[in-house]
């Protein structure tokens, strides 16, 4: 019985890793074949890295995600502070307001935002994309921060106040440094969510403003699988991994 289970689990791991491994492997394939590996070559990478659209897409993705992260952290922190520190009537309504953006399917959210932009004659471009990303990142940031704030020791703050620090000084010198792991973890999540986002960006972007996922999406939807897209996807994958490693380290730091 146990041996069957073991074989099954090994097969699950093969199922999990083989698509990604195959994609990365064939991005180094010399021929255009997707089924037979002929020779090692970097020519597809040379091709995509010489493409200015790839670089502008990466640049757009990065700066959009950076802006989204900063704003989401500030707004999410305000919300998380209220949720964890104060008890007041209407708390359950606030909880619902926070949870709903996580629950509603992104496609409905993205289309409704697009409808509003068009209804109000707001020209679409980088700003509308950033607003769309923030609108659903706030909730994720709040949820992660709240989970991290549960073990927060309030007596340190009280000690600072007793020793004569005013509220502002206490916040800057005590509260913020203590919340640093929570801010880091939720910030990295917000960054990843924005950097990887496709659907919101697809419907709220304007002419000419494309992010990396948008470039991958449009060429996958148009031409299907190709060695060039394999190398572009592997390139994007390595960036995702880099962020994931940062996130894991931040989580370890926060766990301490």
As measured in angstroms, the least distance from the Cβ of 2 to another protein is 7
Phi/psi of residue 245, nearest 5 degrees = -65, -40
Tokens 């697809």 -> residue: 202
Q: Identify the residue among 124, 230, 231, 250 touching another protein (CB under 8 A).
A: 230
40 binds another protein per the rule CB under 8 A: no
Which is nearer to another protein, 26 or 209 (by Cβ)? 26
Rounded Cα distance, 8 and 2, in Å: 10
d(CA 93, CA 89): 9
206 near another protein, judged by CB under 8 A: no
Residues 42-71 that bind another protein (CB under 8 A): none
User: Does residue number 251 form part of the binding site for another protein (CB under 8 A)?
Assistant: no
To 10 degrees, what angle do helices 52-85 and 126-149 make? 40
Among 10, 22, 132, 17, CA closest to 67: 132
Answer for which of 39, 50, 86, 207 binds another protein (CB under 8 A) is 86
232 near 48, Cβ under 8 Å?
yes
In the region spanning residues 134 to 163, those forming contacts with another protein, defined by CB under 8 A, are 134-136, 138, 140, 142-144, 147
CB of 142 closer than 8 Å to CB of 214: no
Least Å from the CB of residue 91 to another protein? 10
- In whole angstroms, the minimum distance from the beta carbon of 213 to another protein comes to 5
Q: How far is the CB of 43 from another protein (least distance, A)?
A: 18
- d(C-alpha 171, C-alpha 246), whole Å: 26
Q: How far apart are CA 151 and CA 65, in angstroms?
A: 29
Q: Which of 164, 221, 255, 256 binds another protein (CB under 8 A)?
A: 221
Cβ partners under 8 Å of residue 183, min gap 6: 73, 77, 145, 176
- In a 10 Å sphere around its CB, with 0-12 CB exposed, 13-18 middle and 19+ buried, how is residue 87 labelled? exposed
Which one, 80 or 184, has the nearer CB to another protein? 80
Toward another protein, which CB reaches closer, 78 or 159? Answer: 78
Nearest distance from C-beta of residue 176 to another protein, angstroms: 14
Least distance to another protein from the beta carbon of 224, Å?
A: 7
Q: How far is CA 122 from CA 47, 131, 174, 231, in A?
A: 37, 12, 42, 36
Least separation in angstroms between residue 128's CB and another protein is 10
Determine the interface stretch with another protein among 51-59, 157-165, 177-185, 226-234 (rule: CB under 8 A): 226-234
When binding is defined by CB under 8 A, the residue of 20, 49, 172, 176 that contacts another protein is 20
Interface pattern 93-132 for another protein (x via CB under 8 A)? -xx-x-xxxxxxxxxxx-xxxxxx-xx-----------xx
């Amino acid at each position: 019985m146990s041996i069957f289970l073991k074989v099954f689990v090994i097969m699950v791991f093969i199922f999990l890793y083989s698509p990604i491994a195959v994609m990365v492997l064939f991005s180094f394939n010399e021929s255009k074949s997707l089924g037979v590996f002929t020779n090692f070559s970097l020519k597809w990478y040379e091709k995509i890295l010489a493409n200015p659209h790839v670089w502008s897409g990466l640049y757009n993705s990065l700066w959009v995600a950076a802006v989204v992260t900063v704003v989401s952290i500030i707004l999410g922190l305000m919300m998380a502070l209220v949720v964890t520190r104060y008890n007041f009537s209407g708390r359950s309504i606030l909880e619902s307001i926070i949870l709903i953006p996580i629950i509603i399917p992104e496609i409905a959210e993205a289309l409704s935002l697009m409808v509003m932009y068009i209804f109000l004659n707001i020209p679409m471009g980088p700003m509308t994309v950033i607003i769309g990303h923030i609108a659903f990142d706030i909730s994720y940031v709040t949820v992660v921060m709240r989970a991290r704030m549960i073990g927060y020791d309030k007596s340190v703050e009280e000690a600072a106040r007793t020793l004569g620090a005013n509220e502002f000084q206490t916040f800057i010198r005590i509260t913020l440094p203590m919340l640093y792991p929570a801010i880091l973890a939720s910030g990295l999540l917000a960054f990843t969510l924005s950097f990887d986002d496709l659907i919101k960006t697809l419907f709220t972007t304007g002419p000419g403003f494309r992010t990396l996922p948008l470039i991958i999406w449009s060429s996958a939807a148009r031409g299907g699988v190709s060695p060039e897209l394999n190398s572009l996807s592997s390139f994007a994958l390595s960036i995702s991994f880099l962020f994931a490693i940062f996130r894991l380290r931040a989580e370890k730091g926060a766990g301490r």
